[in-house]
Structure 1
């Protein structure tokens, strides 16, 4: 996939942008960039598929609630991730017009993306890219969120029915917080990692 147009748009919005043809190349790059740091991960199938936790953990202190150490709770790990020097997350939707969209249940991920770290890396496979804001938001609500609900084995309408958002009132609903980055936040570094393969939901 040619990332030239979206790369230029994101750079104009203040982000550093790095593009890779393959997942392996992107993983190798991030692993080489982060060393001796505390690193927080957001919940993400993209990061899982990249094998990034295993790579970074050999020379960093990585906090991820999908890998809870013995004697720790999920809440403790989430809080530790939020306090990390570096934060890494995927995205649910990335518009060619530059908007970056994420939907969250506990909202630890969207909170961490916004503020508090030396640097934030946001990773997106080519399947996450949409033509504009409305399309990226639609993707996050009607593709990414239902697939995550199914992954968790929930009984929300989107998990058991047609793949779409029902704007449900289910107690198991995981669409509870929405974050939109219109431009790079004023504090901290942000780098967008674009990968020419399909990753995550």
Structure 2
């Protein structure tokens, strides 16, 4: 085992234990290949499965096609073929789907999930609505505490997502948050989940690799 892998394993498992203490179901896998089987066990043929606009799930794990292969109905609002009205309807359907798959912008070593949304559909579905929520996150998103998590969101997650979405906000020039007043600002809803929501079945899957933004 390399020193890098030792550190990823150690930090990932610490985060899992903190999440469990905060009443989440949580599990750690060293690689995305190992995690995939665990994630897909929650998917049944015919189930409606929502995706929270996650690069971790769509690009790093390729889960959209794998979920389709299990016979599930996928609800992907980022599909470029959707009209604005169709996209909004998919977001609404995600709130009442059977399984909602998403990532989180940060997870803290004291067991909190920290997110920023533009519309709020992702943090809404994570908090309440779907029958099952599965959060998949790489160790690169683990932060010491909520303050460090917010710094990560401002310096890393938000600028990269703005660039990916091709919004001409200040952070796509400077590479860090400027607390802008832009009409296309995507940092609008700030969410810190300190304990598992009372009526939401959440599993957090931490993977010992760098995934997503």
* Residue of structure 2 equivalent to 1:156: 169
User: Structure 1 length normalisation: TM-score?
Assistant: 0.94
* Residue of structure 2 equivalent to 1:15: 24
User: Is the CA contact 1:68–1:77 (under 8 Å) kept in the aligned structure 2?
Assistant: no
Deviation at 1:134, TM superposition (A): 0.5
- Structure 1: distance between partners of 2:21 and 2:41: 25
- Does 2:55 match 1:42? no
* Residue of structure 2 equivalent to 1:132: 145
- Does 2:181 match 1:169? yes
Deviation at 1:28, TM superposition (A): 2.4
Aligned partner of 1:110 among 105, 119, 123: 123
| CA RMSD of superposed structures (Å) | 1.5
- Structure 1: distance between partners of 2:127 and 2:13: 25
Q: Which runs of structure 1 show a deviation greater than 4 angstroms over 4 or more consecutive aligned residues?
A: 68-72
User: Is the CA contact 1:119–1:189 (under 8 Å) kept in the aligned structure 2?
Assistant: yes
User: Structure 2 length normalisation: TM-score?
Assistant: 0.89
Alignment of 1:6-85 (within 5 A): 6-36=15-45, 37-48=47-58, 49-58=60-69, 59-67=71-79, 73-85=86-98
Evaluate the alpha carbon distance shift between residue 113 and residue 70 of structure 1 in structure 2; reply closer, same or farther with a 3 A threshold.
Answer: closer
| Structure 2: gaps spanning 5 or more residues | 1-7
CA deviations 1:170-194 (Å, max 9, x no partner) are 1111101111100000002110000
- Structure 1: distance between partners of 2:153 and 2:111: 15
- Any idea what SS the aligned residue of 1:73 has? helix
Evaluate the alpha carbon distance shift between residue 42 and residue 122 of structure 1 in structure 2; reply closer, same or farther with a 3 A threshold.
Answer: same
- Structure 2: distance between partners of 1:26 and 1:131: 23
Work out the number of aligned pairs and report it.
200
- Structure 1: distance between partners of 2:138 and 2:201: 21
- Structure 2: distance between partners of 1:46 and 1:70: 21
| Structure 1: gaps spanning 5 or more residues | none
Deviation at 1:141, TM superposition (A): 2.1
Deviation at 1:148, TM superposition (A): 0.2
